């Protein structure tokens, strides 16, 4: 999924707890699902950022090159401005874009 095109807010929004319980029947289960998804999103974003910053890595960087690399700074700032992975995951959950299952329940 392209996390850059998400409509998740960059700031925290007050949520209706009944709306969060709606999909699972339990607020705690909802939080667990969203937390696991947020971990996945964070890992994906970290890998993507590391791959982009790896292009700028060299064995003989001096201090001046590190501080003056504008492209690297712009890439880092772009990723810092993205919404928090937990906010992206919560938005996905509310839009019913997250697939989850309960392994303890029998298949019908």
Looking at residue 42, its pLDDT comes to 93
Flag whether pLDDT at 70 surpasses 90: no
Tokens, residue 91: 């938005």
Contact residues for 39 (Cβ-Cβ < 8 A; gap 6+):
85
Tokens, residue 32: 């667990």
Looking at residue 63, its pLDDT comes to 57
Q: For residue 30, give the nearest of 97, 84, 90, 83 by alpha carbon.
A: 90
Flag whether pLDDT at 38 surpasses 90: yes
pLDDT, mean of residues 94-99? 88
- CB count in 10 Å sphere of residue 47: 10
Flag whether pLDDT at 82 surpasses 90: no
Looking at residue 68, its pLDDT comes to 62
């Amino acid at each position: 999924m392209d996390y850059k095109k998400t409509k998740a807010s960059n700031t925290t929004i007050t949520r209706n707890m009944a709306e969060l319980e709606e999909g699972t029947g339990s607020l705690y289960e909802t939080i667990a699902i969203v937390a696991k998804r947020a971990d996945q999103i964070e890992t994906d974003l970290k890998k993507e950022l590391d791959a982009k910053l790896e292009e700028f890595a060299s064995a003989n960087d001096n201090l001046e090159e590190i501080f003056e690399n504008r492209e690297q700074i712009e890439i880092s700032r772009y990723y810092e401005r993205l919404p928090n992975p937990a906010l992206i995951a919560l938005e996905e959950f509310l839009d019913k874009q997250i697939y989850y299952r309960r392994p303890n329940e029998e298949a019908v």
